[in-house]
């Protein structure tokens, strides 16, 4: 009986390992035609407005304002639609909420609106587990780009990104821990997180390490 059980377990393991090797980790949901259209519309709008970092752009700048506005409107509308459909796979709607939030942050096809950007970034981050959205809102909260800082939330969002093994998230968290921003300081852990991010070739973390007088970029990584 024992021999039969052992043989069964061995056979089960033999079947499981090839299956894991075949399928691997979960893959991102492929973009739909609607998302592909939105991405292309945004890229087209960007091409028409390239190099004009001004508050007011006129036809005298050599820009076809009607065409630029049309393509940005198309992208904004499509991302809004895709972000709103929470019946879609989580990673799918989350990345479209991130793209929508980024249009509001940058003021593309709409007046710059950090409040709307925040709403979409947080939905994508906290409900959708979209790491780039976590990082973007953390950066806004840390720097105060929206008008005021929110260090406790920035620290929390960087922590979420770090938990997902994102070096830039660990660097952001490590920097805040080392400086005591958004909570109690923890220089030992902060330094370790910065060093780990530097070892993962995240250059900003290496610069922080040198700036704080800590050990320079670890060797042998």
Residue 62 confidence (pLDDT)? 61
All residue ranges of the chain with pLDDT < 50 are 2-3, 5-21, 51, 53-56, 219-221
Residues with Cβ within 8 Å of 123's Cβ and at least 6 positions away in sequence, in order, are 83, 94, 97
Residue 59 confidence (pLDDT)? 53
Residue 45 confidence (pLDDT)? 93
**Domains, the chain, ordered by start:** 35-45+63-129 (no CATH), 149-221 (1.25.40.10)
Residue 78: name the closest of 39, 114, 43 by CA: 39
Residue 137 confidence (pLDDT)? 98
8 A C-beta contact, residue 135 and residue 172: yes
What pLDDT, in 10s, does the model give residues 97-122? 999 999 999 999 999 999 999 999 99
């Amino acid at each position: 009986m024992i021999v039969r059980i052992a043989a069964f377990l061995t056979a089960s393991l033999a079947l499981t390992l090839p299956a894991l090797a075949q399928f691997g980790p979960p893959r991102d949901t492929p973009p739909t035609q609607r998302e592909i259209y939105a991405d292309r519309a945004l890229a087209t709008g960007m091409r028409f407005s390239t190099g004009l970092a001004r508050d007011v752009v006129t036809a005298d700048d050599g820009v076809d304002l009607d065409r630029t506005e049309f393509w940005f409107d198309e992208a904004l509308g499509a991302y809004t639609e895709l972000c709103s459909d929470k019946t879609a796979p989580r990673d799918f709607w989350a990345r479209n909420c991130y793209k929508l939030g980024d249009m509001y942050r940058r003021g593309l096809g709409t007046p710059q609106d950090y409040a709307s950007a925040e709403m979409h970034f947080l939905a994508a981050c906290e409900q959708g587990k979209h790491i780039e959205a976590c990082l973007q809102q953390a950066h806004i909260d840390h720097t105060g780009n929206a008008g005021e800082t929110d260090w406790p939330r920035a620290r929390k969002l960087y922590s979420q990104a770090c938990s997902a093994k994102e070096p830039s998230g660990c660097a952001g968290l490590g920097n805040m821990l080392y400086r005591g921003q958004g909570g109690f300081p923890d220089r030992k852990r902060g330094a370790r997180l910065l060093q780990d991010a530097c070892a993962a070739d995240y250059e900003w973390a290496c610069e922080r390490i040198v700036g704080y007088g800590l050990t320079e970029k670890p060797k042998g990584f």
